[in-house]
Structure 1
Amino acid sequence: MGKELRVGIIGLGGMGRLHAKHLNGLPGVNVTAVCGTTQAKAEAFAAEHAGGRAAAYGRYADMLEKEKLDAVYVCLPPDGHIGQAEAAAERGIAVFVEKPIALDSDRAARMARAVEQAGVASQVGYHNRFGSAVQELKRMLADGTAGAPMLFDGRYDCNSLHTPWWRDRSRSGGQVFEQAIHTYDMAMHLLGTPSRISGFMANLAHREVPDYTVEDTSAAVVRFASGAMASICASNGAVPSEWNSSFTVICAKLTAYFDGPNRAEFVFTSGSEPVRKAFGEERDVYLEETKAFVAALRGEGPERCPIAEGLASLRLVERVTQSAEQDGATLPYD
C-alpha cells in the first residue's frame, strides 16, 4: 500500500465533494485539509465530507504553509486559478487540477512550467480518458488492431442555465472551454497533435436571459499533424436535464461508436465482412482517475494525464474561440 498520503482540497463545490469521497475511500489516503471561500464553509465541508478530521482553511496560502501535504486537488472554476497550483508545486506538493486549468494558455503555461520545474507529479481531471471503452480503443491504436485513426466526430449536448459563474464568459470561458473541452481532449488523446483549427460559435437560444454571455451553439473542424481530422459540435439548447457526450472514431481497420467513455460498438472493417463487437464495462471514471493519480504519487504507475496535457487541450479550445471571433478563420494550433 505504501506510505499514508495526506491530501488537501482547494475548492469545495461539487467536484471537491466528489474527490473527497473517492480519496477517503482509498486505503492509506486521507483528506487532511480543505480550503473554501470562507473558514465557515471549510469547517462545514470538513465535518460533512471528511469526518471532521480535516483542518479547515479560508485561505489556500495558510493551508499550504501549515499542513504537510503530499498532494492537493484544485477544484475551482476556471477564473479561480490564481496561483494555487504553482504555490503547491513550489512546496513540493503534487497537484491534481480540474479542467480547464485556466482561462487562457498564457496562465496555463505558467502553471505547467511551475509544476514541471518543481518536478512534482500532476494530473488534470479528464476523467473520460479512464473509461473502459476508451482505454480499449487506445490499446487497439497502440498495437495496430485499429489501424491509423482517420476521423473523430464528437458531440456535447445539454440544456441548462447552470450556475451563475458558468453562464458568465469572463468566469467560465464558455461552453467550449468549460464543458466541450472534454470532447476536444478526447480527440487529441486519440488522434494526436492538432495543426489547423476553424470554429464557429453563437448564442441562439439565450439572448433574452440576463447575464448569459456564453455561447449555446458551436462547431469546429480540426486537422491534426498526422492528417487525421475531427469535427466537434456542442449545444446548450438540447434536451433539458440531459447531458450527452458521444463520439465516433473512424480508423483504417475499425470504426468505433461511443456512447460515453465506458460503452462502445467496435466494428472491425479489415476483413471480407464487418465484425461487430459491443463493449461495455462500467467503471466510475472519477474514481479511476484518482486511483491513477495515487498510483503515480506512490511510484506505482506513470502520470496518466500530466498538466502539460491540460495546457495542450486548453490551447486547442482557445484557438476554436479565437477562430470564431474571426468568423471561422483557419488558425494554426501553435
Structure 2
Amino acid sequence: MAVRIGFIGCGGIARQHMRRLAKMEEVELAAYYDVEGEKARECANEFGGRAYESYEEMLEKEGLDAVYICTPPFAHGDIEKAVLAREIPFFVEKPIALSVRVAEEIAEELERKGLFASVGYHFRYFDTVERAKELLSEREIGMVLGWWLGGFVGTPWWRVYAKSGGQIVEQTTHIFDLARYLVGEVEEVHAYMSLRLLKDIPNMDVPDVGVCNLKFEGGVVGNISNTCITGAGGRIGLAVYCRDFVVDITGGRLTVIEPERSESFDPKVDPYELEDRIFVEAVRTKDPSGIRSPYPDALRTLKVTLAANESAKVGKPVKVG
C-alpha cells in the first residue's frame, strides 16, 4: 500500500520534494495546503491529489500517513502540533522554529506520542559528507571554518528579522548543522552582525554580514561567516582542519588536502532524493533509525544559531543551552 503524503506549504522547496516523491512507486501525493491557495491547486493539478483551503480540514479528511511541513520559519508551531494531535509523523524544513520554547514543546510531544520527525538538513545525505565524516573519525580535529557567502534572497519574509530569524538562523543553519555533524557539539558562541550595505531594500532589518566564533566540546574552535550582499565571489561550505590534513566541503564536493597532494570527489547521490526516500521508508516500516537529522538533533542546531543571534545582540559570548 502506498504511503499517503500531504503537504503544508507548496513553495519552491516543497516542489523539490514533490518532484522526487512523485517518482517513487511507494508514494501517493494525496493533499496540499498553502496560504496562497493557487499554489496548492497548481500542485494538485501537477502531481494529483486534492488542494485544501485549510490544513486542519486536510488533516481531518485525508487519512494521511505522513506530512511535509514546508512553511516559512515564523509559521512553525501550531502546524506541527496539529499534525501530532493526529499522530502523524512529519518531515519539516529548517529552521524548525524561531524560538527554543516552541521547538522544545514539539520535541516533547514527539517523544510523548512515540512519533518521529525528519528535518531537511540535506547536507547530511551527501555521500561526500559521509566520506568526510569517516575520514575525520580517524583524526584529531583542530579547527573548523565555514561560509555561506552569497546574494540577497528576494522572498519578502526573508528580509524581516521577526519572520526569518536572519541569515544565520534561516540559511547558514545548514553550515552550523554540518559543523555539528562532522565535529561535535558547540558549547559557546560569540557573534557579530550588522546591516551594512542593503539598507536601501524596503523592510530590510536583518543583518547582511555576520561572523560567529564557536567553541566546541573537547576544545575544537571554529568560525562561520555569512553575508547576503554578493552575487559574485560567493562560497558555501565548510573546511575542517587536522594536523597536515584538511577536509573541505564546497557545495557537495569534497576535497581532501594533504601537504603534497589533494584529491576531490563529486557527489554521486541526490541528497534531497535520499532524505525523502529514507523518510518514506521510515514511515512505511515505522523504523526511523535511518534518518540522519531527527527533530531532537535539529533542535540542538537551532539552539546554536539562536545563541549566535543573542550573542550579537548582547555583545558578548553566549553559552549554548
* Counterpart contact for 1:159–1:235, Cα < 8 Å: yes
Give the Cα–Cα distance (whole angstroms) in 2 for the partners of residues 63 and 19 of structure 1: 19
RMSD over aligned Cα atoms: 1.8
1:35 maps to 33
Q: Which amino acid aligns with 2:248?
A: Y
Give the Cα–Cα distance (whole angstroms) in 2 for the partners of residues 238 and 41 of structure 1: 30
1:297-316 to 2 correspondences below 5 Å: 297-299=283-285, 301-316=289-304
What TM-score comes out, normalization by structure 2 length?
0.94
1:73 maps to 68
2:182 maps to 190
The counterpart of 2:276, out of the listed 279, 290, 297, is 290
1:247 maps to 238
Query: Is 1:266–2:256 an aligned residue pair?
Result: yes
Query: Structure 1: which 5+ runs fail to align?
Result: none
2:146 maps to 154
* Counterpart contact for 2:33–2:52, Cα < 8 Å: yes
Q: Which amino acid aligns with 1:101?
A: I
Offset at residue 74 of structure 1 (A)? 0.3
* Counterpart contact for 1:154–1:232, Cα < 8 Å: yes
Which secondary structure does the structure 2 equivalent of 1:277 belong to?
strand
Offset at residue 175 of structure 1 (A)? 0.8
Offset at residue 139 of structure 1 (A)? 2.0
Alpha-carbon distance change, 58 to 38 in structure 1, aligned in 2, over 3 angstroms: farther
Query: Structure 2: which 5+ runs fail to align?
Result: none
Which secondary structure does the structure 2 equivalent of 1:165 belong to?
helix
Q: List per-residue Cα deviations over 1:126-162 (Å, max 9, x = no partner).
A: 01111121110112234x2xx1222110010112241
Give the Cα–Cα distance (whole angstroms) in 2 for the partners of residues 40 and 209 of structure 1: 28
2:50 maps to 55
1:97-108 to 2 correspondences below 5 Å: 97-108=92-103
1:89 maps to 84
* Counterpart contact for 1:187–1:230, Cα < 8 Å: no
Select the structure that is richer in helix: 2
Alpha-carbon distance change, 7 to 253 in structure 1, aligned in 2, over 3 angstroms: farther
1:110 maps to 105
Give the Cα–Cα distance (whole angstroms) in 1 for the partners of residues 68 and 157 of structure 2: 20
Offset at residue 306 of structure 1 (A)? 0.5
Offset at residue 195 of structure 1 (A)? 1.0
Offset at residue 39 of structure 1 (A)? 4.3
Offset at residue 111 of structure 1 (A)? 1.6
Offset at residue 121 of structure 1 (A)? 2.4
Offset at residue 40 of structure 1 (A)? 4.3
Query: Is 1:202–2:194 an aligned residue pair?
Result: yes
The list of structure 1 runs, each at least 4 consecutive aligned residues, that deviate by more than 4 angstroms after superposition, is none
